[in-house]
Amino acid sequence: MKLESPEAGTESPPVKFELWRRIYGRVGQYWKAIVVAMVLVAISAATQPTLAIITKPLIDDGFTGAKPHYIWAIPLAVIGLILVRGASSFGSSYLLAWVANNTLLGIRHDMFDRLLGMSDEDFKRSDTGRLLNRFTIDAGNVTAYATEVITVIVRETLVVIALLVVLLYMSWELTLIVLVVLPVSVYTASVFIRRLRRINRETITMNAELTRVVREGIEGQRVIKLFDGYEREAGRFAYVNAKLRRYAMRAASADAAMSPLSQFFIAIAVASVIAVALYQANHGSLTVGSFAAFMAALGQIFDPVKKLTKIASAMQRMLTSAESVFTLVDSLPEKDEGKVELAERAEGRIEFRNVSHRFEGADSDVLKDISLVVEPGMTVALVGRSGSGKTTLVNTIPRFVVPTAGQVLIDGIDIRDISLKSLRRQLSLVSQDVVLFDGSIAENVGYGALHEASTEEIRAALQSADLLKFVDSLPDGIHSQVGEKAGQLSGGQRQRLAIARALIKNAPILILDEATSALDNESERQVQASLERLMSGRTTLVIAHRLSTVQNADLIVVLDAGRIVEQGRHEELLEKGGVYASLYRMQFRED
């Protein structure tokens, strides 16, 4: 079930109950530790009213000298109670922290597992800032508040009950006054709960926006500087920052208003208690020690009541964060109904049968009735103007894009019938958007290989990508760190590392989407020569704007507005004098 956030200012009991069930279903996995922690919490809670009870004999008998042993017995009792309270408090806090962190471990594992399982389309629609916030802020809030809630509810409830028993024992008349005022104080605080929940939701959304703005400022700092975008970005940040401050102040005002209002009702209760106590003392029905014990217990009861009242705010933050977390956990994974497992190495025959595709919300198809057969071992180049559908077409092969009509087949099998893992095992991809990970060159080149890549294999792949000489010149060779987003490497070096990574996989189908776009002319010729040798015996689809790199392709397919308008070899297409010839002459003149 996918949990959708209810509209701001409204409650949704079924969803709220489901959130409670799921949160504490996860926390409950560690019930043994929770039980021990609650026992320790109960012990800690029991010490609080005991301190109030000691006040009566201390005043009535201790200061009068009726019981001389109180001189050492009561101080030792106080020290003992404090030691017991401290030890039990430490033990319960440690155990609950252990529960919270283990629960957080499981939640983040499920979130990341679902994140990696999202479809390519879902990634494109997602807000990166919101996704990051779910991992860094929301997940932490859920587990931290979950243990805080049960701790406060158990401990403070036990304390309140125990203190009420003490109050009733000392004077049931005075206790009735307290019992009248306390519910009024609690009701007053509950008025702010819905407002706090709405503010918390708005804050989470704006935190995601802040993360996105800061991330774009970091990643686009060069563009900002070169195109004088400082004022624009500073303005965007100032707007989001001001919104967060406004939400924080609204939450702070609502949170802070509960204390003085509660204290006002407490003052009424205390004043009434003093008046009645003085009346009883004057008539001999209340001793000084009893009154002192009563006031000591009364003075202690308001703090746990205040904590129980304020825990409502933590509950709302927990539920709001839980909605965000479980929205990701419940998102539908990438559809994989395929049961067919391809051979260890497929033959590599690719067929497109009447393939059409329209992106969600688009007015027209980006691919229109494409039919094409690529025989095993062929090199097929897809060329055409930007936006003609080349990348979308090749993205249907690994099922990054699912056609809205038609079929894509590998070795005569519809790829929808092939399991995703088996399908993608047969593919290597180098796109124009190079993705490298923070780690060594060897780790990036051998990344995700079906087997543990040896040093010889890594060096051979680097040699084929014309990068080995550069790598050997580095102090740590193939073990040199590339840095975050490979910031230590040039654009051409990053591209060639991606090529080496695709080559080491040695898949029967190779997709090159502008694989040499970041290389200078000399490097491009060197890498292209290596690629042409390595393409032998491998089905290769090449997307290229530089037509000089695809002249030797077995087949050149020209797309325009999502349709195949021409196909043939380089010389044939030039003779036709059509779209390909026009594109070639245009590039020739530019060169």
Instruction: Report yes or no on 489 lying in a domain.
Output: no
Same-domain pairing of 100 and 225: yes
Element holding 6 (H helix, E strand): none
- Residue 10's Cβ-count burial label (10 Å; 0-12, 13-18, 19+) is exposed
Statement to judge: residues 417 and 311 lie in one domain: no
Nearest to 546 by CA among 565, 561, 564, 527: 527
Q: Say if residue 183 is in the same domain as residue 98.
A: yes
Last residue of a domain, one of 329, 352, 387: 329
For residue 534, pLDDT over 80 is answered with no
**Whether residue 311 is found in the same domain as residue 342:** no
pLDDT surpasses 80 at 574: yes
Local confidence band at 121 (pLDDT 50, 70, 90 cut-offs) = confident
* C-beta of residue 170 within 8 angstroms of C-beta of residue 290: yes
User: Is residue 490, in this structure, part of any structural domain at all?
Assistant: no
Residues 260 and 358 placed together within one structural domain of the fold? no
Please, which residues have CB within 8 angstroms of residue 531's CB and are 6 or more apart in sequence?
A: 499, 512, 515, 516
Checking if the pLDDT of 339 tops 70, the result is yes
The pLDDT of residue 126 is: 75
Average of per-residue pLDDT across 185-194: 66
Domain of residue 405, CATH code:
3.40.50.300
Mean pLDDT calculated for residue range 253-258: 73
DSSP 557: E
Q: Cα torsion at 236, 237, 242, 243 (round to 10°)?
A: 70
Q: What is the pLDDT of residues 406-422, one digit of tens each?
A: 999 999 999 999 998 89
Cβ-Cβ contacts under 8 Å for 90 (sequence gap 6 or more): none
Domain-ending residue, one of 285, 311, 329: 329
Q: In one letter, which amino acid is 40?
A: L
pLDDT at residue 13 is higher than 60: no
Q: What share of the chain is helix, strand, coil (3-state, %, to 5)?
A: 65, 10, 25
Q: What is the layout of strands, in order, in the sheet containing 539-543?
A: 427-430, 509-513, 539-543, 379-383, 555-560, 563-568
Q: Is 50 exceeded by the pLDDT of residue 12?
A: no
For residues 403 and 276, membership in a common domain is answered with no
CATH number of the domain encompassing residue 228: 1.20.1560.10
**466-486: average pLDDT:** 83
- 379-383 and 539-543 as β-strands: parallel, antiparallel, unpaired? parallel
The whole-number average pLDDT for the span 333-341 is: 86
Cα dihedral 492→495→496→498 (10° resolution): 160
Containing 126, the helix (H) or strand (E) segment is none
Phi-psi region of 440 (alpha: psi -120 to 50; beta: other; left: phi over 0): beta
Q: How many beta carbons lie within 10 A of that of residue 590, not counting itself?
A: 6
Residues 161 and 122 in one domain: yes
Q: Is the pLDDT of residue 7 over 70?
A: no
Give me the mean pLDDT over the 192-198 stretch. 68
Residue 493 is assigned to a structural domain of this protein: no
Give the per-residue pLDDT at 14. Answer: 46
**523 within some domain:** no
Q: Are residues 131 and 268 in the same domain?
A: yes
Tell me what pLDDT residue 63 has.
59
**In angstroms, rounded to a whole number, what is the distance separating the alpha carbons of residues 108 and 329?**
9
Q: Is the pLDDT of residue 57 over 80?
A: no
Q: Does residue 297 lie within any of the structural domains?
A: yes
Q: Which of 81-95, 149-163, 220-234, 242-256 has the lowest mean pLDDT?
A: 220-234
Q: Are residues 366 and 232 in the same domain?
A: no
Same domain? For 284 and 407 the reply is no
């970091």: which residue's tokens?
218
- The residue among 196, 206, 197 whose CA lies nearest residue 251 is 196
The answer, yes or no, to whether residue 8 has pLDDT greater than 60, is: no
Of the three residues 305, 329, 353, the one that is the final residue of a domain is 329
Residue 254 lies in a domain: yes
Distance between CA atoms of 144 and 100, rounded to whole angstroms? 6
pLDDT in tens, 259-278: 677 677 777 777 777 777 77
- pLDDT, tens only, 522-533: 666 666 766 776
Q: What is the DSSP letter of 385?
A: S
Please state, rounded to an integer, the average pLDDT across all residues of the chain: 81
Spacing of C-alpha 549 from chain mean position = 41
H or E element: which one contains 370? Answer: strand 367-374
Asked whether residue 5 carries a pLDDT value surpassing 60, the answer given is no
Q: What is the mean pLDDT of residues 466-473?
A: 87
381 in a structural domain = yes
The residue behind tokens 């804050």 is 203
What is the structure's pLDDT at 520? Answer: 65
Number of independent structural domains in the chain = 2
- Which are the contacts of 441, defined by CB distance < 8 A and separation ≥ 6? 462, 471, 474, 477, 478, 479, 480, 482, 497
pLDDT tens for residues 482-494?
A: 876 666 777 778 8
* Interatomic CA distance for residues 393 and 493, integer angstroms: 27
pLDDT, residue 308, reads 79
Question: In which band, very low, low, confident or very high, does the pLDDT at 354 lie, cut at 50, 70 and 90?
Answer: very high
* Cβ–Cβ < 8 Å for 166, 329: no
pLDDT higher than 80, residue 286: no
Residue 271 gets the label, from left (phi > 0), alpha (psi -120 to 50) or beta, of alpha
Which range has highest mean pLDDT (30-39, 158-167, 538-547)?
30-39
pLDDT confidence bin for 3, thresholds 50/70/90? very low
More confident call, 520 vs 584: 584
- Domain identity same for 323 and 348: no
pTM of the model: 0.69
430-463 core/surface letters (b: 16 or more CB in 10 A; e: else): bbbebebeeebbbbbbbbebeeebeeebbbbbbe
Q: What is the mean pLDDT of residues 297-316?
A: 76
Share of the chain above pLDDT 90, in %: 17
What are the pLDDT digits (tens) for 76-90? 888 888 898 889 989
Confidence check: pLDDT of 322 > 80 = yes
Mean pLDDT, range 15-39, rounded to an integer: 87
* Residues spanned by the domain of 412: 338-425+544-591
By the 8 A CB rule, do 497 and 467 touch? yes
The answer to whether residue 513 is domain-embedded is: no
Average pLDDT over every residue of 337-341: 87
Residue 11's pLDDT band (cuts 50, 70, 90) = very low
State the Cα–Cα distance between residues 68 and 73, nearest whole angstrom: 9
**Residue 448 three-state SS:** coil
Residues 290 and 369 grouped into a single domain = no
